[in-house]
Structure 1
Amino acid sequence: MDVIVLIGRILFVVLFLGSGVGHLTQSQQMVPFAEARGVPLAKLAVPASGLLLLAGGLSVLLGIWADLGSLLLIAFLLPTTFLMHKFWTETDAQAKQAEMVSFNKNISLTGAALALFAFFAHTPELGLTITGPLFSL
């Protein structure tokens, strides 16, 4: 069971770790896009969100307060979903569909991160982690 949970954690964080690296290494390209979407302080928000993605992703991956890491990912996903993927404002059908897919993907990832938080905060012995949970449910 421990190995299955570890594999699940690895698969779950691949997207977050890759995105975090991208936010830090390609911020010059991402800032104008974020500004166009109305993100406040985009020059600060893009690298800060990259650090949030890396911290949350590594926490879940390594099992270092993975419950907190799950909450960090939620803290990234919720505002990003509603700021960056406003499908309801799109008039072009193809753009609307693409934004809706991204919006729904992020909502689903938020649900998975919330479930992981509950799992980590509720289960005292997770196996194959470096630390136990920070929170207790």
Structure 2
Amino acid sequence: MALIGRILFVALFLGSGFAHITQAEAMGGYAASKGVPQAKLATFASGVLIVIGALMVLLGIWLDLGALLLVIFLLPTAFLMHAFWKETDPQAKQLEMIQFQKDLALAGGALLIFALYSGYGDNLGITITGPLF
């Protein structure tokens, strides 16, 4: 069951990460509009971070570290890219609030994965390595 949960959890990150890498120019423009410095580079780098973290969780290679990499992406993204409190248009505010809450919920899920795998290691499902931490 844990392996199925990991597969379902990382599906979003793999798609998003590859989009960040392959569409860095377009996505970087959006990031720049949100005030992200060196937005194209940041978009590409965050895509690499997401893909590495997701693959680590999926494959069970230092799964706990992979989960932390996803948290490192999700928390700043929630606050930098989805600052709903800055929006004045009610519809835009609602959409950003949903994205903000999604990022926080996913960060919470990644922290749970970190805690479970760092505590119980490879007893929770098929992994290639044990936990790093």
TM range (shorter): over 0.9
- Using the TM superposition, give the Cα deviation of residue 28 of structure 1 relative to its aligned residue in structure 2, in angstroms: 1.2
Q: How does 1:104-123 map to 2 (within 5 A)?
A: 104-123=101-120
1:9 aligns with 2:6: yes
> What amino acid is aligned across from residue 13 of structure 2 in structure 1?
F
Counterpart of 2:65 in 1: which secondary structure? Answer: helix
Match of 1:126?
A: 124
Deviations 1:69-125 (A, max 9, x none): 000000000111100001001010000000000000000001000010000100033
- Using the TM superposition, give the Cα deviation of residue 41 of structure 1 relative to its aligned residue in structure 2, in angstroms: 1.6
Q: How does 1:54-65 map to 2 (within 5 A)?
A: 54-65=51-62
> What amino acid is aligned across from residue 19 of structure 1 in structure 2?
S
Instruction: Give the TM-score of the pair, scaled to structure 2.
Output: 0.97
Match of 1:80?
A: 77
Q: CA RMSD in A?
A: 0.7
Please point out which of 31, 43, 48 is paired with 2:45: 48
Match of 2:88?
A: 91
Instruction: Give the TM-score of the pair, scaled to structure 1.
Output: 0.94
- Using the TM superposition, give the Cα deviation of residue 47 of structure 1 relative to its aligned residue in structure 2, in angstroms: 0.4
Runs of 5+ consecutive residues of structure 2 not aligned to the other structure: none
> What amino acid is aligned across from residue 11 of structure 1 in structure 2?
L
